Structure 1
């Protein structure tokens, strides 16, 4: 499914949350699709099942997945990526990072190019040219 960086300073559960969110946002995991069981994923990734459970719990809190007792975890079809509250959180975080980058001397043109490159790589966005 994906690989995790054991050497990263970022906790494994956070890496797992980020990867799952990416798969959901890119629609690789479809609405109402069942996620691998905690045991299956723990075996596949060779990590503790508690780590998987923690990641699933975090994804559920953030609204990306839902759980049905005795059945498993599923991708939330009601997950609106364009939810206003989430957009505002992302904008605030992005604003903080951009200000930090500008303060550190990264030219605005480099940041704009980075965003444009990421947008092209994702295949999204609308052209305003």
Structure 2
């Protein structure tokens, strides 16, 4: 994974895991890699991988069973919620950047319609 220097690495890995959940690569109930395996997979520090799992737990996406590992919550509605939140963030980012280029909302909609 190539990291963006403007964002904390742990946030980028959290986002990558959320994308894997939304896309179906990771399913509700699946066991996530150990902290060490996650560190190797993303070439990050083990402390960073611990922070990734801590963040995912705080967001209610996963939970840890002592001695067994970290698992994705078995909540199908959670997947829909994550997908919706990620889409809203992308749209807001896109709109902000387009408006910074001087486009109005109407012009943005027109450009999008042309692409379909």
Instruction: Establish whether TM, by shorter chain, passes 0.5.
Output: yes
Q: Which residue of 2 aligns with 1:75?
A: 72
SS in structure 2 opposite 1:70?
coil
After superposition, the CA RMSD in angstroms is: 3.3
Q: Size of the alignment, in residue pairs?
A: 111
User: How far 1:104 moved relative to its partner?
Assistant: 3.9
User: How far 1:4 moved relative to its partner?
Assistant: 3.6
Normalised by the size of structure 2, how large is the TM-score? 0.72
Q: Higher helix fraction: Structure 1 or Structure 2? A: 2
Q: Which segments of 5 or more consecutive residues in structure 1 lack a partner in the other structure?
A: 118-129
User: How far 1:44 moved relative to its partner?
Assistant: 3.0
CA separation of 1:43 and 1:74: change in aligned 2, threshold 3 A:
same
Q: Which residue of 1 aligns with 2:30?
A: 33
Q: Which segments of 5 or more consecutive residues in structure 2 lack a partner in the other structure?
A: none
Counterparts of 1:44 and 1:93 in 2: how far apart (Å)?
A: 25
Higher relative contact order (CA 8 A, sep 6+): 2
Moved over 4 A (4+): 86-97
Counterparts of 1:47 and 1:88 in 2: how far apart (Å)?
A: 26
